[in-house]
Structure 1
Amino acid sequence: MLFNLFVSAGVRDLLVRLFARRGVREVLVFLFVLLAAVPQFVITTRSGNRLHDMLPFAPAVLWPWTAAANIAVGQLNWVNAAALGGWTLAAYVFGRIQFERGLRFDSQEVSARGSATPLPRASWAEALYRLPGRVFGDPLGALIEKELRVLSRSARFRLVFLMGFSFGLLIWLPVTFGPSGRGDGWFARNYLALLSVYALILLSDVLFWNVFGFDRSAAQMYFISPVPLAIVFRAKNITAVLVIVVEVTLIALICAALRFPVHPQKLAEAYAVAVTLALYLMSAGNMSSAYNPRPVNPAKSFRSSTARQTQALLLLLLPVGLVPILLAYAARYAFGGELAFAAVLAIDFAFGLVAFRIATESAIEAAGARKESIITVLGGGEGPISG
């Protein structure tokens, strides 16, 4: 009991200091998420025996839990007592050191120091940021560049972006291909599209459902500047599509590096499925952003960026958005050819464009009519630019 108490106190103070540092908290959360998926990975790949052989081991009695269990059942001897006492002493020293460091730690000072001295951007990153301005021109290109910069500095976005091309692989690839790595089922034949859809769903909270969330009170500039609100929505949606394309590309590159089959046809299919699904999600997201905006602190890695009522509604709409994609795969199964799949997916894309245009026009009208309430709601959140 004392061992657990000392360790938990020390770990808590250590995590408080680490999570206050910019860039470290995303890495820690990312590692915690990956660790949560390790048991499933070990079970599905049947690599437990190999993992046991690879890991160094010590006699079981030297572990504190084994020593405590032996003492609890009456096996009190000097080996168990020394093992448990040594671990308890080490836990006390660890907890005391971390507690003393926690007393001297100022999280606000660390956050301010990190914000006041931003890391210099690499030249290649600046070139990528400025590329939309050369392709689309101003003001659309400038708005896309702004969106890319905001997303890249958001801890929330960085976390889900990393999870999209890593956590999905760790979860779905072992299930799809099994211990032998040679799956031949439907999931194995379409795993690239499956991973892309999974990553898209993860990114939807930061890219689709609440497009004004990261702007917070700065969103008032969209309503008083001469730039039409339609261009603002267009810039945010184009940015979302660019992020999706990059995410799918990273998934394909990692799969190729792991020597999973990445055929050009399946890669093109993954891009087409992801972009088609994104049209339907952006249609619902633009409407949601106009009627239910919510301020979001980009420095917070946790918490959803949408209201609970909106989350419940979007949870119901998500299966509806997947129906057109499922129809395309049903056509491939029914007619047994790629032509049927491509034709149905093209029809889905066309209907998605129509739905996207209608929904976006409605969202623009609603945002213009509700601009006072939108600005009021977005200005009420926490963060450096909240009202």
Structure 2
Amino acid sequence: EKFNADNPDITVNVEILPWGGRREAMLTAYAGGEAPDIAYVNIDTMSLFGTNGVLMPLQDMIPQEVWDDMSGNLTDGLTWEGDRLMYPAFIYFYGRLYNKGLFAECGLDVDAPPATWDDMRTYGAAAAAKEYFLTNLSTIAWDTEMISSLWQAGGRLFNEDFTKVQLDTEAAFDSWSFEADMFKNNWVPREGAVGSEAEAGGATATDYWITGKQLLSHADTALITTNTKTQAPEIDFGLSPTLQHKRQVVLTTGACWGVFKDRPAIDPVAKWLLWLIGPEPQGFYGSVTNNIPGRLAAMSYWEADETIRAFGELHLPYGELNGDATHFWQEGKVICAPYRQAAALGLSSVEEALAGAQAEFQAELDDYNAKQS
């Protein structure tokens, strides 16, 4: 309504797509000449849309000062082959809460949540001694576990020109070993060791955090704070910091706006996009979704729950987004999940699991690059 009041000559039609299959549906619509002008495109669409060349570069449509105003270090991750294809509607990262009551029961300092991988191992042993879990992990999770963990170990998934997968590195060994140790020591529920989305969907749905059997929540967005207040108001929780090993870093991702190519009239599309990413609309959207606005200028319009704001302020300084997350997100997690599962369950060594994932993922990347050339 606010946009229409300022732009009465432009009509905005909104269509809601089911989440499952949304990427493919938009790609099919583009091929048929019926693509939307602007779409809500999360970063997991970058490889598919970038490969098919369906999104319009935004570096000239969006002023540089607006790019400079983005929350977090995101530009590299929103870029495909030199073009900036997306701008965040809001951003989020995954952090954990900790149960102060269980910390006290386990003899841990209630004001000192784990800050390093070594802390996680120490606290995991303390939790197991009381027959609790430390946290939970999923071997299909890409952003919450795989990417952030690899970065914390000092690694990168791809080399700079995206010609090589780098799972044959010390950093990859360290991060996969850390994950496998969590499962082997029963510091996390074994049902999280899954090899596919189908297995993940069929896993036991017990939430050990909400039932008071887990010291740390699963890694989640800021919504874990308000969800915990609603579902388990008896839990006295605190915020756990961004974990550190060789680096203190967390993958920052986002819900973004993208513009499809070949629009019949670009001026109204540009007006609508620039309005959507304006400070006030961004602040409003962050308020209603309980996520962090994509622009710093929107913070004064952001009406967030106190704990959600604290969660955002805690992790934002360590947030990062680059091509590791935006290139081959879906392909990578599907390829790596069965190998991570095998390492977690002791069905293969970490070295064997990494070698298998490296070979399969590299073949996928080589095939992509061959087609591009």
- Tell me the TM-score normalized by structure 1: 0.23
Q: Which has the higher contact order (CA 8 A, sep 6+)?
A: 2
Comparing both structures, which one devotes a greater share of its residues to helix?
1
Structure with bigger strand share is 2
Q: Which structure would you say has the larger Rg?
A: 1
